[in-house]
């Protein structure tokens, strides 16, 4: 089945630093990837839709200058949290659309900003 690899799985950083999260589709090409954020005991909230070769589409309320998304190839999308602050601490999950409607998720990245 389709596999989406996400790294790192956990990162702890100091306030003000930037963190990059990678999302790779290992056995299929993904023209579209999605980035979600999930706070404890809350649902997944879509942050942005990443399209290969073009600018990402951000959901309302998500700062595009803070959450930089790059989808440089059909198998790789990256999310960079710039100047991270404690309120950015969350579980970040990427997903990629496989064959048909199926959406496959990465393993997630737990970000803790001190």
Partner 1 sequence: QKEVEQNSGPLSVPEGAIASLNCTYSDRGSQSFFWYRQYSGKSPELIMFIYSNGDKEDGRFTAQLNKASQYVSLLIRDSQPSDSATYLCAVKGGTGFQKLVFGTGTRLLVSP
104 binds partner 1 (CB under 8 A): yes
For partner 1, which is the closer residue by CB, 4 or 113?
A: 4
Cβ atoms of 2 and 28 closer than 8 Å: yes
Contacts of 44 (CB under 8 A, 6+ apart): 36, 37, 38, 93
Cα separation of 58 and 113, whole Å? 22
For partner 1, which is the closer residue by CB, 46 or 68?
A: 46
60 binds partner 1 (CB under 8 A): no
Site mask for partner 1 (CB under 8 A), range 10-49, x = bound = ----------------------x-x------xxxxxx--x
Classify 55 in phi/psi space as left (phi over 0), alpha (psi -120 to 50) or beta: beta
Rounded alpha-carbon distances, angstroms, from residue 24 to 11, 17, 76: 18, 23, 5
For partner 1, which is the closer residue by CB, 23 or 113?
A: 23
For partner 1, which is the closer residue by CB, 12 or 16?
A: 12
Give the binding site for partner 1 (CB under 8 A): 6, 32, 34, 41-46, 49, 91, 93, 101-108, 110
């Amino acid at each position: 089945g389709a596999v989406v690899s996400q790294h790192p799985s956990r990162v702890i950083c100091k306030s003000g630093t930037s963190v990059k999260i990678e999302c790779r589709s290992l056995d299929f090409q993904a023209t579209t990837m999605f980035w979600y954020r999930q706070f404890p005991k809350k649902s997944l909230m879509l942050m942005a839709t990443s399209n290969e070769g073009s600018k990402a589409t951000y959901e309302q309320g998500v700062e595009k200058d803070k959450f930089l998304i790059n989808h440089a190839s059909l198998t790789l999308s990256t999310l960079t949290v710039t100047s991270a602050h404690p309120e950015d601490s969350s579980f970040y999950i990427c997903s990629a659309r496989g064959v048909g409607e199926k959406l496959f998720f990465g393993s997630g990245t737990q970000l803790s900003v001190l």
